[in-house]
Structure 1
Amino acid sequence: MVQTENGKRLSGLIWEVADLLRGDYKQADYGKVILPFTVLRRLDCVLAPTKASVMSFYAGKVKPMALKNPEPLLNQKAGVSFHNISQFTFADLARDANNVAANLRNYINGFSAAGREIIEYFNFNDHISRLDEANLLFLIVKAFAGFDLSPEKVSQMEMGYVFEELIRKFSELSNETAGEHFTPREVIRLMVNLLFQDDGEILTQPGIVRTIYDPACGTGGMLSVAEKYIKGSAYK
């Protein structure tokens, strides 16, 4: 699997955090903790530039309106398809060891439905309690708070490499085949090239808008490679 140096470095640093779980978790279960924390930190970094404005907008305008579905307005303010209205960020969580479990749950509950759905997929609430009881939760939160996973520092492509490398390592620990969980980038690039090879005209028309849909999306590798291909075609 081809990786960027940045992606390889980050996956290595995140992998080191898993050592904190030694003795309290089976190696095969490390991914149940590390992967959702990686997702949370990435989401936190994506939302960081607009966090203050979203919070102000929510408190001053959206909340008083008592809208049945305020999510579209808040997503628009955040500039992405999700938002978080919790008062906490990862930096805040890493400053309060005594209340880290309650604050982390508050933070997760502050996400819009799309964000919460991702975290709930990992059955993460059970692991919060388990980590807190083992005095590991704050250590892991603090470690992840030190990773800069912002889009400016880590591209979508690199983030995909990070997830794939972590999944590969966790799969090895659980005696699974990593290929069961993601498709190698070399194969993805071949598939994308074959998919779009006859679509040059419809992808390069001025003002055209195209939507990509992957019904079997995992780490998003297919989507990020397809996006890169389409944008590259549009500017040729």
Structure 2
Amino acid sequence: MSQTAIGQDSINAALWAACDTLRGVVDPSTYKDYVLPMLFLKYVSDAWQDHCDTYKAQYGDANDLIEELLKTERFILPPGASFQALHAARFEPGNGERIDRALHAVEDANIAKLRDVFQSIGFNSSKLGDERQKNDILRHLLENFARPELDLRPSRLGELDLIGNAYEYLVSRFASSSGKTAGEFYTPPEVSRLMAQLMNPQQGDEICDPACGFGSLLLQCGRLIRERTGTRRYALFGQEAIGNTWALAKMNLFMHGEDNHRIEWGDTLRNPKLLTSDSGLRRFDVVVANPPFSLEKWGHEAAERDRFRRFARGVPPRTKGDYAFILHMVETMKPGSGRMAVIVPHGVLFRGAAEARIRRRLVEENLLDAVIGLPEKLFYSTGIPGAILVFRKSKADDEVLFIDASRGYEAGKTQNRMRAQDVRRVLDTYAARKPVNTYAHVATRAEIAANEFNLNLSRYVNAFENTVFIDNALLQEEREEFQRELADIDGQIAEHLAEMRP
């Protein structure tokens, strides 16, 4: 292949063009199930060939020696399982079956790193049409990935993380094009970076995301440590409930060179899998997450019997799992060094009943460190603004910092984006921990208690000087939340009355 100049934009454009093959055949939300595994296979195939060529140039025809050297590589590519072999056979029947066989062979040869990754990913699927149509679609997909722009050999890429960046680019485009469905497992990179920097991960840290999606928050934490130290002396942990998303997270971490990780497949709230040897919850230095907002069916029915006692501070509402994730994360912070950041909807800050009681306990135990309001339309899964809650196991004071960063963004046609200066202002304010007019306030525990433990930012940060301002959207959100709470209470009363009737 030619040593043409390479750039991130050309790789991104070639990858997005490959999606044209699937348009009109499958839903945009499932593009990722074909394009991202193909990107993975193309990368490992090009990297393997690059290593083979390097050894041949160094040792000539000493095939036995070269074969032994290849066994020491970070991964193994079995004979016949390469992208190049699939591309050469693309005009023959059975493309789907051949691709699936190749992926399973790669998994078997690297079982410690890729166990079960390709079990829920299938190219030989009727979703792509009958056998003839499917074979033709996959032939075009193989040809798209054979374009010179997608020559992904490490010797051509150099030190640039073009593969990881391309992977994240595709994920963001998939999230944008398929909206809520894809946005549930994707956190915008500027938000991921902000959360990682708030956590300030260090060498030797164990870092966990209990709702890890594609793994972007974990990768940002790891990247921050590498940039500061030049080492990979840290460990990444995660759990993801959706099988395909879990598999893509494993591939994502693999392509970023993150071998020191453990990502489990399963429901964190119903069945946490990151446990100690004596089956207790494993604890971490850093815990980060962007869990699904207000998950309705989160496992309320079993919460009171939770063997890990995660809900000792109170059982969250039946139809809102926000505090279920928060309480799980709080319980998985290490004593002393533990700190966490979680993205939540604003309702978490002010809703009453069970959530108010939980919120009060968290403040009284001096676990809550900061509340950071984010701009609206940052997330693909919802247009409402979110907030970052920061918790720490060991705090230097008993105050809570409130930051209203909701007006710091660059507006887009459909999505807004926090700029570098917006992120920097949040970080500088968090580090200084001092009041900033119309932007930040440091609240004492007594002040929060006087507000009945309501954490709504408008109660602490006066965002507009000398102006009476009413946030109609937020008021409407609060009104709808109160109506839903009232409906829940009415339902519970009706149940109790029914039980009391003879």
TM-score by length of 1: 0.66
Residue-by-residue CA offset, 1:134-189 (whole Å, 9 max, x unaligned): 11212211221331233441767433332233223223333326542222222222
Instruction: Give distance in 2, aligned partners of 1:151 and 1:223.
Output: 23
- Partners of 1:128 and 1:137 within 8 A in 2: no
Determine which of 218, 227, 231 is the counterpart of 1:232: 227
Instruction: Give distance in 2, aligned partners of 1:222 and 1:155.
Output: 22
Structure 2 match to 1:92: 85
Instruction: Give distance in 2, aligned partners of 1:108 and 1:133.
Output: 21
- Partners of 2:172 and 2:188 within 8 A in 1: no
Instruction: Give distance in 1, aligned partners of 2:200 and 2:130.
Output: 46
Determine which of 165, 171, 176 is the counterpart of 2:169: 165
Q: Kindly tell me: are residues 225 and 157 of structure 1, through their superposed partners in 2, closer, same or farther at Cα, counting changes over 3 Å?
A: farther
Q: Which structure has greater helix proportion?
A: 1
- Partners of 1:33 and 1:127 within 8 A in 2: no
Instruction: Give distance in 2, aligned partners of 1:29 and 1:138.
Output: 18
Instruction: Give distance in 2, aligned partners of 1:214 and 1:51.
Output: 36
What are the within-5 Å matches in structure 2 for residues 85-124 of structure 1? 85-96=78-89, 97-99=91-93, 101=95, 102-111=97-106, 112-113=110-111, 114-115=113-114, 117-124=116-123
State the AA in 2 paired with 1:85: P
Aligned residues: 205
Percent pairwise identity: 23
Secondary structure of 1:24's partner? coil
Instruction: Give distance in 1, aligned partners of 2:121 and 2:16.
Output: 18
- Partners of 2:47 and 2:153 within 8 A in 1: yes
- Partners of 2:42 and 2:152 within 8 A in 1: yes
Secondary structure of 1:136's partner? helix
Structure 2 match to 1:6: 7
Q: CA deviation at 1:13?
A: 1.2
1:79 aligns with 2:43: no
- Partners of 1:17 and 1:140 within 8 A in 2: yes
- Partners of 2:28 and 2:178 within 8 A in 1: yes
Instruction: In structure 2, list runs of 5 or more residues that go unmatched.
Output: 1-5, 56-62, 231-502
Residue-by-residue CA offset, 1:55-113 (whole Å, 9 max, x unaligned): x77xx88xxxxxxxxxxxx9x82521x32213242122212221562542332232133
What are the within-5 Å matches in structure 2 for residues 140-155 of structure 1? 140-146=141-147, 147-152=150-155, 153=157
State the AA in 1 paired with 2:216: G
Instruction: In structure 1, list runs of 5 or more residues that go unmatched.
Output: 62-73, 204-209
Q: Kindly tell me: are residues 28 and 229 of structure 1, through their superposed partners in 2, closer, same or farther at Cα, counting changes over 3 Å?
A: closer
Structure 2 match to 1:181: 185
- Partners of 2:43 and 2:153 within 8 A in 1: yes
- Partners of 2:185 and 2:212 within 8 A in 1: no
Secondary structure of 1:45's partner? helix
Q: Kindly tell me: are residues 217 and 94 of structure 1, through their superposed partners in 2, closer, same or farther at Cα, counting changes over 3 Å?
A: same
Q: CA deviation at 1:223?
A: 4.0
Instruction: Give distance in 2, aligned partners of 1:108 and 1:128.
Output: 18
Q: Kindly tell me: are residues 211 and 118 of structure 1, through their superposed partners in 2, closer, same or farther at Cα, counting changes over 3 Å?
A: farther
Q: CA RMSD in A?
A: 3.8
- Partners of 2:100 and 2:122 within 8 A in 1: no
Structure 1 match to 2:140: 139
Q: Which structure has greater strand proportion?
A: 2
- Partners of 1:45 and 1:148 within 8 A in 2: yes
Moved more, 146-155 or 85-94: 146-155
Q: Kindly tell me: are residues 185 and 21 of structure 1, through their superposed partners in 2, closer, same or farther at Cα, counting changes over 3 Å?
A: closer
- Partners of 1:86 and 1:110 within 8 A in 2: no
Moved more, 89-98 or 146-155: 146-155
Instruction: Give distance in 2, aligned partners of 1:139 and 1:117.
Output: 27
Instruction: Give distance in 1, aligned partners of 2:25 and 2:199.
Output: 46
State the AA in 1 paired with 2:217: M
Moved more, 134-143 or 95-104: 95-104
State the AA in 1 paired with 2:180: E
Q: Kindly tell me: are residues 144 and 214 of structure 1, through their superposed partners in 2, closer, same or farther at Cα, counting changes over 3 Å?
A: farther
Q: Kindly tell me: are residues 154 and 174 of structure 1, through their superposed partners in 2, closer, same or farther at Cα, counting changes over 3 Å?
A: farther
Instruction: Give distance in 2, aligned partners of 1:154 and 1:125.
Output: 35
State the AA in 1 paired with 2:229: A
